[in-house]
């Protein structure tokens, strides 16, 4: 802890500020890429299509709704604390692989604000923003996580 910032600052697997800035469209708006030659979708985005090697690739924003393909509920290790911004059930964390409506897979990612016993494969999820961690310079780093979509 630091006297300037009351929250603990952890550096294990932290996405640095410069890299987070470069990836801000992917991380905040789910922007990937689409190859105009073969129609393949990629997330995160690419400059060259991995299927046909074409450079005719454009940005594409994906939908914030998806389906849970598979998940794993596990214990948090001692060095990865739950951070603020979402509800944690004990010391468990639910990691998931999500398939968006366009067929693109996003993962590993977190499913939050839902008890682990209610999470099941095939359920609809919706993207939400949460605080991930506090940087060494005091800035908060945000990212997306997934919650059950009850609007269906």
pLDDT of residue 152: 46
Q: Domain ranges in the chain? A: 17-148
CB 71 within 8 A of CB 123: no
In terms of pLDDT, which residue wins out, 23 or 124? 124
For residues 19 and 11, the model is more confident at 19
26 vs 152, higher pLDDT: 26
Secondary structure (DSSP) of the chain: --SS-SS----TTPPPHHHHHHTHHHHHH-EEEEETTT--EESS--SS-TTT--S-EEEEEPPSEEEEEEEEEEEPPTTSPPPTTS---TTEEEEEEEEETTS-EEEEEEB-SS-GGG--TT-EEEEEEEEEEE-TTS-EEEEEEEEE-TT-
Taking the CA atoms of 105, 110, 113 and 119 in sequence, report the sign of the dihedral they define: positive
In whole angstroms, what separates CA 21 from the centre of its chain? 15
Tokens of 17: 């500020």
pLDDT at 34: 95
Q: What is the pLDDT of residue 140?
A: 79
60-96: per-residue pLDDT in tens?
999 999 999 999 888 765 555 555 545 555 567 788 9
The mean pLDDT value of the chain amounts to: 79
| pTM for this predicted structure | 0.74
Per-residue pLDDT at 113 exceeds 90: no
pLDDT at position 88 is 54
Can you give the pLDDT at residue 89? 59
Q: Kindly state the average pLDDT of the residues 98-121.
A: 90
Binned at pLDDT 50, 70 and 90, residue 125 comes out as very high
């Amino acid at each position: 802890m630091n006297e300037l910032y009351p929250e603990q600052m952890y550096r294990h697997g932290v996405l640095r500020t410069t890299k987070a800035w470069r990836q801000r469209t992917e991380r905040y708006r789910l922007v990937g890429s689409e190859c105009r030659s073969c129609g393949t979708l990629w997330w995160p985005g690419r400059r060259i299509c991995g299927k046909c090697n074409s450079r005719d690739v454009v940005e594409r924003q994906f939908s914030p709704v998806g389906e849970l393909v598979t998940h794993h509920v596990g214990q948090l290790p001692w060095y990865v604390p739950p951070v603020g911004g979402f509800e944690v059930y004990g010391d468990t964390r639910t990691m998931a692989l999500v398939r968006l409506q366009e067929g693109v897979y996003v993962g590993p990612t977190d499913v939050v604000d839902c008890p682990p016993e209610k999470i099941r494969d095939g359920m609809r999820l919706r993207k939400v923003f949460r605080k991930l961690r506090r940087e060494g310079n005091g800035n908060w780093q945000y990212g997306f996580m997934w919650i059950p979509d009850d609007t269906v």
